[in-house]
Structure 1
Amino acid sequence: MKLAGLKSVENAHDESVWAATWIPATETRPALLMTGSLDETVKLWKSDELTLERTNTGHCLGVVSVAAHPSGAIAASASLDSFIRVFDVDSNASIATLEAPPSEVWQMQFDPKGTTLAVAGGGSASVQLWDTGKWKLIATLSIPRPEGPKPSDKNSSKEVSRAKFLHHLEGHFMPVRSLVYSPANPRMLFSASDDAHVHMYDAEGKTMVAALSGHASWVLSVDASPDGAAIATGSSDKTVRLWDLSMRAAVQTVSNHADQVWGVTFRPPGWSWPPCRPAC
């Protein structure tokens, strides 16, 4: 595997781009690339041409996280203005506005079935779970410090009765910025940290498998390739690195950014358009 430049857009936003994710294709349109910026906007890009499809507004401060529903029909953006905006991808119509404490939502993710939106970040050491049918908060999962008391599940319902704290994975000595599971091995978890390292963990075995070093500064984002053979990382050292997991080493460094790289994401396989019918 090798990273190769396909398309590049200069001045894609008026300010730094802090978040990026893929929106799945639907019956009526192809997959889209969604970006969020400190310029308070969310932009949707045609994935092959990297041409701007639409600019969404609605936040009053910078956008720090974006997430796409598995259906491709809805998406969410989180801002420093203390709100999460859930919107229709094709029309930009607001579906829900979720309130969160200031600077408490730095990462968001829909579960694979699309029934729950998990949001995390800030100093509260908790994860909030939102029901995507009624857009109601269904649980606040407190994450304890290693020496602290056992966590409590506030506002829990039967829907999240199994959402409980399991264990700490230790190894980093500075804040962790990004997490991703391997699509090929659900036990394998990758973490990116301000300590300039990327760790591989066996999440079920509670052990660190490897520590990857090479970046000169904070590692701000990590994503795993669909086949599980590689990961990509973005760093405040202005580089993107591609790591071969069999070698456990960086095999390529891309240095064409002029500033910190806050987001990396692999395009999932099979996201062609029009959607493939059984006869094709």
Structure 2
Amino acid sequence: MAEGMGLLVGGRYRLIEPVGQGGMGRVWRSRDEVLDREVAVKEILLPPGVADEQRELLIGRMMREARAAARLNHPGIITVHDVVEHRGAPAIVMEFLSGTSLGVEIQRHGRLPVERAARIGTAMADALAAAHAAGVLHRDLKPDNVLLAGDRPVITDFGIAGMADATVLTLSGMAMGTPRYMAPEQIEGRPVAASDLWSLGATLYAAVEGVPPFDGPTLTAVYAAILTGEPRPAEHAGPLTVVLDVLLVKDPDQRADAEATGRALAQVLSELQAPAPPAPAPPEDTVAVPPAVETTLPSSPSTEPTRPAERADTPGRWSRRTVLFGGLGALAAVAAGTGVTAALWPEPSAGQADTAGRHGTGTQPSSPSPHVVRTATYARTLTGHTEWVTSVAFSPDGKTLATGSGDKTARLWDASTGSPVATLTGHAGIVQSVAFSPDGRTLATGSDAAMLWDVATARSTATLTGQKYSVNGVAFSPDGKTLATAAGEATVRLWNVADAGATATLTGHTSFLESVAFAPDGRTLATTSADGTARLWNASTGAATTTLRGHKGIVFSVAFSPDGRSVATAGDDKTVRLWDVATGRPTATLRGHTEAVKSVMFSPDGLTLASASGDKTVRLWEVSTGRSIVTLKGRFKQYSYSVAFSPDGKVLAATGDEVACMWTLD
């Protein structure tokens, strides 16, 4: 029988059996006798010979750290229920999870498949983002502190991380845990949030390579390697290599943050899950599909059970935040600034309505003769951008096309000829979104910040700053007086277009935002997020009215139907979903794409829906039946990002790779 078995800790936690032992403590499977539930109790082992004064200091610090960890509520972070004192040392009470650590998996298998490592890393980055937002650092992230509970990676030991930093190591004279995953600044006693990202990079490196990036025969040698050396070149990381390079930058100020890292890892995962490309074939110039369902698709939209939308109990909170960074654009900038030669995967784009690109939406100014699109004839390819084209929008009069790109520019084109009209420069990052004002005189672009441009002169008229991370979506209100911007900090900000002043910030999503759209009447705002939801808001008060749940993974795009009664959303789960705005209930799930759907848009008459996907295709759907009626291949070799109908509904534009493609519709 193990020593301590059967003891009652803290007056309520009965120790049943030991399930783990490490340099910093022993973990017991235990029973909470008050709530009658299984828990894990971690006894902290203080260094031997610690003076009473130092012991009190360490215990006090540990109790504070554990209480801070108890405030965290995230599926990727183990839940801390309680912290008590036991035998003169802290004991942390946590949820009990069955599984093995990532460290054990590496020991068993040598190295993990890159796809599995990317999936684990994506979850870890999301968990770190939540912890950092709450002001909690881990400071001892390593494979042994990542529990693989089925398909759920869970970071453990937030509550005892303070024991592992350089200050405590110096005080105790004892190496607690391993230093191989510590950031340079942490070894020097200066841990910051970016230190956890270094440790994440080192952990993922070990996962795909089987060994940590730095090692040595002695503790001093390991420290020296981390402080002055370069990591061993990764041989098995594949597309993860560039992310690892950015995370293992020695200057913490030049390291990517958790949200940007999560985006990059999610995109790497999407790339790895993509099917092998078929043998190249020239795209069809004309596609005509009879009004029948493709054999690989259901004959009607799926009506799978989905939880009803949740009505918000309280209005969305209004707040103001500052600070900068730039999502994946920042990762690319960091890579360039540190000599890393790599092309980070572009951020997935999302949809728009006729006056908004990628993530925006707007009113439908024209009233074309209603009919479901049956044929699409390839018209032209627009070339000129030097990086992926993320977004596209038609001007309200249909004469001008706007595109945004990873080359940090937006471009204006003659929509009838495809000729370039102007190149808009001034952004420091990827131009994620473009949107025309309802009068067509102003263009909004989203990147490191949002900018407003005079369309006639192609000159910038205002820069809207104040949101963290990149601006992923922009949308004008139907009256043109307000601009909504969706940012990586999980907020939507509303701006007065006349003076470029911020009027309000809407919060409620729990992860970065992807898109934003106004309803045609301007009363409702819709947003989508990496938290797996879309939300509807009262545009006047900022109150969150409805949460739309059903997608699995990131929701990239949202668009209102022209009558404002429906919204369409597109997600990482390869589906397009339709929702009733009045009730918030799902009405259909459209299946057929084989990769994440990045963008959706209704035709001006509302009878046809267009979607763009990472499977390199654009699909047209009959809204009334949910049938896929046309599949367009374009000139896309890697992705199709964004899609837009012309105001008269006769032309479709889509972007992918470094080009925009146009079709005439009938």
Structures share a fold, TM > 0.5?
yes
Which secondary structure does the structure 2 equivalent of 1:241 belong to?
strand
Residue among 627, 630, 641 paired with 1:252: 630
The DSSP-based 3-state class of the residue aligned with 1:220 is strand
Q: Residues 270 and 264 from structure 1, CA distance in 2 versus in 1: closer, same or farther, beyond 3 angstroms? A: closer
The structure where helix makes up a greater share of residues is 2
- Give the residue type in structure 1 aligned to 2:601: D
Which residue does 1:138 correspond to in 2? 503
Which one of 589, 593, 598 corresponds to residue 220 of structure 1? 598
The residue identity in structure 2 corresponding to 1:9 is: T
Alpha-carbon spacing, 1:187–1:144, altered in 2? closer, same or farther (3 Å): same
Partner of 1:108: 474
Choose the corresponding residue for 1:7, options 376, 379, 392: 379
How far apart, CA to CA, are the structure 1 residues paired with 2:608 and 2:461? 36
In the alignment, the residues of structure 2 paired with residue 270 and residue 241 of structure 1 have an alpha-carbon distance, to the nearest angstrom, of: 15
- Give the aligned residue type for 2:452: V
The question of 1:87 aligning with 2:453 is answered yes
Structure 1 counterpart of 2:506, one-letter code: L
Pairing partner for 1:41 from 409, 429, 440: 409
1:207 maps onto 2:585 in alignment? yes
Paired residue secondary structure (2:643): coil
Residues 122-137 of structure 1 correspond to what in structure 2 (within 5 A)? 122=488, 124-137=489-502
Structure 2 gap segments, 5+ residues each: 1-372, 511-538, 651-666
CA contact (8 A) 1:234 1:263 kept: yes
In structure 1, C-alpha distance between the alignment counterparts of 2:474 and 2:437, rounded to whole Å? 11
Deviation at 1:60, TM superposition (A): 2.2
Contact 1:220 / 1:233 at 8 angstroms: preserved in 2?
yes
Counterpart residue number, 1:55: 423
Moved more, 214-223 or 70-79: 70-79
List runs of 5+ in structure 1 lacking aligned partners: 146-159, 272-280
Q: Which has the larger radius of gyration?
A: 2
Q: State how far apart, in whole Å, the 2-side matches of 1:172 and 1:103 are.
A: 24
User: What's the counterpart of residue 24 of structure 1?
Assistant: 396
Quote the offset at 1:240 in angstroms. 0.3
- Within 1, Cα distance between the matches of 2:387 and 2:375? 25
Q: Deviations over 1:124-165 (max 9, x none)?
A: 3221000111110000011255xxxxxxxxxxxxxx653311
- In 1, the alpha carbon distance for the partners of 2:407 and 2:490 equals 27
* Cα distance in 2 for residues equivalent to 1:104 and 1:56: 18
Q: Give 1:133's aligned amino acid.
A: A
Which amino acid in 2 is paired with 1:178? S
One-letter identity of the residue aligned with 1:255: K
Q: Does residue 1:77 correspond to 2:445, yes or no?
A: yes
Give 1:10 deviation, angstroms. Answer: 5.3
- Residues 104 and 262 of structure 1: is their aligned pair in 2 closer, same or farther, counting only changes over 3 Å? same
Between 1:246-255 and 1:1-10, the stretch displaced more is 1-10
The letter for the 2-side match of 1:214 is G
Alpha-carbon offset, residue 5 of structure 1: 3.0
Work out whether residues 605 and 649 of structure 2, in 8 Å CA contact, stay in contact via their aligned partners in 1.
no
| Separation of aligned partners in 2, 1:87 and 1:166 | 32
Aligned pair count? 249
Equivalent position of 2:558 in the other structure: 179
1:240 to 618, 626, 630: 618
Give the partner amino acid of 1:43: R
Aligned residue among 551, 555, 568 for 1:190: 568
Between stretches 129-138 and 245-254, larger displacement belongs to 245-254
Distance 2:540 2:606 in 1: 30
SS of aligned partner of 1:113: coil
Q: TM-score, normalised by structure 1?
A: 0.84
Q: CA deviation at 1:208?
A: 0.2
Task: Specify the code of the residue in structure 1 equivalent to 2:499.
Answer: K
Q: What do you get for the CA RMSD once the two structures are aligned?
A: 1.8
Q: Aligned equivalents of 2:565 and 2:624: distance in 1?
A: 16
C-alpha distance in 2 between matches for 1:249 and 1:164:
35
Q: 1:24 to 1:144 in 2, by over 3 A?
A: closer
| TM-score for both structures, normalised by structure 2 | 0.36
Question: How far 1:213 sits from its partner (Å)?
Answer: 0.7
Q: Percent identity?
A: 35
CA separation in 2, counterparts of 1:213 and 1:251? 12
Assess if the C-alpha contact under 8 Å between 1:3 and 1:242 holds in 2: no
In 2 relative to 1, CA 8–103 (structure 1 residues): closer, same or farther, beyond 3 Å?
Answer: farther
Q: Is residue 7–residue 49 contact of structure 1 (8 Å, CA) maintained in 2? A: no
How far residue 100 of structure 1 moved from its aligned partner, in angstroms, is: 4.2
Alpha-carbon spacing, 1:37–1:167, altered in 2? closer, same or farther (3 Å):
same
Counterparts of 1:196 and 1:6, CA distance in 2: 25
Q: Distance in 1 between matches of 2:623 and 2:396?
A: 27
- Distance in 2 (alpha carbons) for counterparts of 1:217 and 1:68: 29
Question: Per-residue displacement from partner, 1:231-251 (whole Å, max 9, x unpaired)?
Answer: 000000100001011221211
State the SS of the aligned residue for 1:168.
strand
